[in-house]
Structure 1
Amino acid sequence: MLKALIGDGLDPVLQGTSRFVERLGLRPNTLTFIGMGLNGLAAWALAEGEWLEGSSLIVLAGFFDILDGAVARNCRQASAFGSFLDSVLDRYSDLCLLVGLLIHYSRQGQVLYQVLLGLALMGTAVVPYTRARAETLIPKCNVGVMERPERILLI
């Protein structure tokens, strides 16, 4: 949904940034790990109730998540392993953010939010598996209410 709204508008910016990042010697997988680390810091900030810091780190991590794929494509460094690594660390990143929120609301004694976050954790773990499994049975699974960018915005 966000991709449909933004379209290819970011492509020129990402191409230039990709070339710069390549000149720095940073590889796509390094950017993926940086994004994961930033999401880990964001989770810690959310657990501490530092909403501005947490949300700022989430946005920065999102930029690295976009940039790693752009560098891989634009600099001809794409690999099956890199794609797999990106997908796995995206799941860990999502779960880290939710755990950060769960810790925060547990400290506050907010049982309803704890239950809702527990459900969100289950959905975050099961939905990508369901989609991957469906794609072993049908050519392409293009259904779903929210892609990853929308889920992160919701957090």
Structure 2
Amino acid sequence: MLNVLARVRVNRVTDPIGRWLVGHGVAPDVVTVVGTVGSVAAALWFLPRGQLFVGTVVITLFVLFDLIDGAMARARGNGTPFGAVLDSTCDRVADGALFAGLTWWCLGVGDQRLLGVAALICLVAGQLISYIKARAEGAGLSADGGLVERAERLIVALVGTGLHGLGVPYALPVALWLLAAASVWTVGQRILLVYRSAQASGPVTTTGPAGPTDSAPNP
């Protein structure tokens, strides 16, 4: 939801940066990879050591690279199929590293095992939310929308982590448990969206040796 509401305003800031980088010969794929490597390194270095506020600031800076590579693609007139796959793959890696780092902190320095469960739920559910959409689109179905998409997940997790690093009581537990519940809800929403899309499009028909048969693609 936030992706749609904030896109126009964000583009006003990122588009000039994207045009400048393209004008200086920088490729969008390079920015994508640099942003991902930086996010992963920061998440797995600062968070497990308990440096939550510093980690949040550094991760946020590198997460912004994901906005810039999109602006660069628009400045070039279009993206590439490889760039789209690379961007989606890097998003999953960066998201996984963030929640893996939080889980590591919870089970280690933070000594909050129950909170580690919430972080693991966020990690798994976040990957599922993206997978359901990708798998549905591959099958010609739709799974757009949901309560918490990537932007919301990152904002809630990073704000909660940063505030906890500044000493705000219960900031991270509230953020992670709220996000865990919302992420599980979104998984259910997207499965329902896929079901409705499949019902609207009708059965998939393939032709086998014995004639037309109804079948569904296997995962």
TM-score by length of 2: 0.65
Q: 1:145 maps to which residue?
A: 147
Q: Distance in 2 between matches of 1:122 and 1:100?
A: 14
State the Cα deviation string for residues 43-91 of structure 1 (Å, max 9, x = none). Answer: 1211111122111122212210000011012123510000000000100
Structure with bigger strand share is 2
Q: 2:80 maps to which residue?
A: 79
TM-score by length of 1: 0.90
**Does the residue aligned with 1:6 lie in a helix, a strand or coil?**
helix
2:124 is equivalent to residue 122 of structure 1: yes
Structure with bigger helix share is 1
Runs of 4+ in 1 over 6 A off after TM superposition: none
**Unmatched segments (≥5 aa) in structure 1:** none
Q: Distance in 1 between matches of 2:57 and 2:83?
A: 26
Aligned residue pair count: 155
Q: Distance in 2 between matches of 1:134 and 1:122?
A: 18
Q: CA RMSD in A?
A: 1.7
**Does the residue aligned with 1:9 lie in a helix, a strand or coil?**
helix
Percentage of identical aligned residues? 32
Q: Which amino acid aligns with 1:151?
A: R
Question: Relative contact order (alpha carbons < 8 A, sep ≥ 6): 1 or 2 greater?
Answer: 1
State the Cα deviation string for residues 103-154 of structure 1 (Å, max 9, x = none). Answer: 1111133110111122122112222111222234454322311111101112
State the Cα deviation string for residues 3-48 of structure 1 (Å, max 9, x = none). Answer: 3332412323322111211133211000001110221132121111
Q: Which amino acid aligns with 2:37?
A: G
**Unmatched segments (≥5 aa) in structure 2:** 158-219
Q: 1:67 maps to which residue?
A: 68
Q: 1:20 maps to which residue?
A: 20
